[in-house]
Amino acid sequence: MKKTFFQKYGILIIFLLLCLVLSFLSPVFLSIPNLINVVRQISINGILAIGMTLVILTGGIDLSVGSQVALTGAIVAGLQAHGQGAFLAVIVGLLLGAFLGCINGLIITKGGLPPFIVTLGMLTAARGLTLIYTGGRPIYDLSKAFNFIGAGYLGS
């Protein structure tokens, strides 16, 4: 089946038109500080999208990614708030994320359950554990090293 021009390039055309309209409405829309801000805001989603691409290419689906990020982020922030070093906290977060992913994978492959159901269950479990861990409150008083990482100024 042959794709029409709009089917092939429609999203790009709409994106460019949107940028054009917004640049006329706001003179700072296409400014360097605004573009840097946009890149900072989408960086986490971009990293998640890279991992999700692999899942989708293999015909799977993972609904639990966002909740896993919330849980691991809360654990990392909690460790930081209780005086643990940034390096240890990040390693614990990475290991926890890998562990949760392995649980999903094992249940799907060894248990033969559909990825949609398994990851929906993990979404609920991770979201609940995050709520229990944080008590529904933000975690603050992170170390200076951790705040430096989150400031977006690495290398300067």
3-state secondary structure 9-77: HHHHHHHHHHHHHHHHHCCCCCCHHHHHHHHHHHHHHHHHHHHHHHHHHCCCCCCCHHHHHHHHHHHHH
Residue-number span of the structural domain to which 122 is assigned: 61-150
In a domain, 123, yes or no: yes
Residues 76 and 136 in one domain: yes
Residues 14 and 80 in one domain: no
Q: Is the pLDDT of residue 154 over 60?
A: no
What is the pLDDT, as a whole number, of residue 66? 93
> Are the C-beta atoms of 119 and 103 separated by less than 8 Å?
no
The model's pLDDT over 116-139, given as tens digits with 9 standing for 90+, comes to 999 999 999 999 999 999 999 998
In a domain, 114, yes or no: yes
Provide the token pair at 62: 């993972």
Residues 74 and 11 in one domain: no
* Contacts with 38 (C-beta within 8 Å, 6 or more apart), sequence order: none
If one counts the domains in the chain, the total is 2
Distance CA 21, CA 24 (A): 5
The model's pLDDT over 1-30, given as tens digits with 9 standing for 90+, comes to 677 888 889 999 999 999 999 999 998 998
Residues 136 and 82 in one domain: yes
The model's pLDDT over 65-113, given as tens digits with 9 standing for 90+, comes to 999 999 999 999 999 888 888 889 999 999 999 999 999 999 999 999 9
What is the pLDDT, as a whole number, of residue 85? 85
Residues 25 and 65 in one domain: no
Distance CA 82, CA 78 (A): 6
> Are the C-beta atoms of 79 and 138 separated by less than 8 Å?
no
In a domain, 24, yes or no: yes
Residues 86 and 24 in one domain: no
Residues 93 and 146 in one domain: yes
- 149, exposed or middle or buried, with CB in 10 Å at 0-12, 13-18, 19+? middle
In a domain, 43, yes or no: no
In a domain, 39, yes or no: no
What is the pLDDT, as a whole number, of residue 152? 65
Alpha carbon distances (Å) from 76 to 48, 123, 134: 17, 18, 12
Closest CA to 54 of 4, 8, 12, 105: 105
In a domain, 140, yes or no: yes
Residues 25 and 78 in one domain: no
